[in-house]
Amino acid sequence: MTNPRLSALSAGNFEPVILITGASQGIGAAIAQVFAAELPGARLALVARNEQNLRATARECLKLGAEVELFPCDVTKEKAVAAMARAVGKHFGPVDVLINNAGAFTMAPFAKTSAAAFDDMIATNLRSAFLVTQAFLPAMTKRKRGDVFFMSSIAGLGAYPQAAAYCAAKFGVTGLAKVLRAETKDAGVRVCCVHPGATWSPSWSKSGVKPQRIMPAEDIARAILDVYRLSRRTVVEEIVLRPQLGDL
């Protein structure tokens, strides 16, 4: 029996399924809106814990012409991720582009970082990416096609004081992406690790930092879209994006 999605791909009218975690605000919401605006026929699976904010993202994407479905989920929980993956598969079928964007950031000196706070940073930033990727990777390798993006940080490349837990988590994301790239490069799956510097999100609104010192989330989203649009013969393994005026 002919696979209709493979036939569509051969005909040049492929309509990819794009799953974005942490899609309720910030970079995740910007990624959803950029893909909706610039990738005709995009089908978006939006994932986050905050369903109310997720609906706001969905409304904007629907206005831009995308097909959108919400999958509220705590991506740090193994059973919740498994249930979400089943729901996505039932609604959309296989995922073509997985963007592991879910994450959080808190600051504290190493000596004052509690075990609970450390575990929370690891779960939100690293464990989530591991669980979600495990859920969707098998279908990609089976079809020998797929794209996986990991949202690391410049804190996943170099140490920052007052951010032991966050740096540890993001260094872990960077390592996870490198391992997956090594394991899947012959399976038709492209893996890209994204390392943004300071990027605008609601968490910066009360920081006192001038917006001119912070990158717009839309720029990160456009970089990801540009990487995805490259020929299947090319993979961008890492992207580093920093504010033009330098790190904060």
Domain boundaries, the chain: 14-197+206-241
Over the stretch 46-64, which tens digit does the pLDDT of each residue have? Answer: 999 999 999 999 999 999 9
Model pTM?
A: 0.93
The CATH superfamily assigned to 14-197+206-241 is NAD(P)-binding Rossmann-like Domain (3.40.50.720)
Give the chain's end-to-end CA distance (angstroms, integer).
56
Does the pLDDT of residue 94 top 80, yes or no? yes
Does the pLDDT of residue 4 top 50, yes or no? no
Cβ atoms of 44 and 70 closer than 8 Å: no
Give the pLDDT band of residue 13 (cuts 50, 70, 90): low
Residues known to be catalytic: 166
Residue bearing tokens 């279908």? 139
Cβ atoms of 179 and 141 closer than 8 Å: no
Cβ atoms of 132 and 21 closer than 8 Å: yes
Cβ atoms of 122 and 173 closer than 8 Å: no
Mean pLDDT, the chain, rounded, equals: 93
Nearest to 96 by CA among 37, 66, 126, 137: 137
Strand arrangement, sheet containing 17-21: 67-72, 43-48, 17-21, 97-100, 146-151, 189-196, 238-241
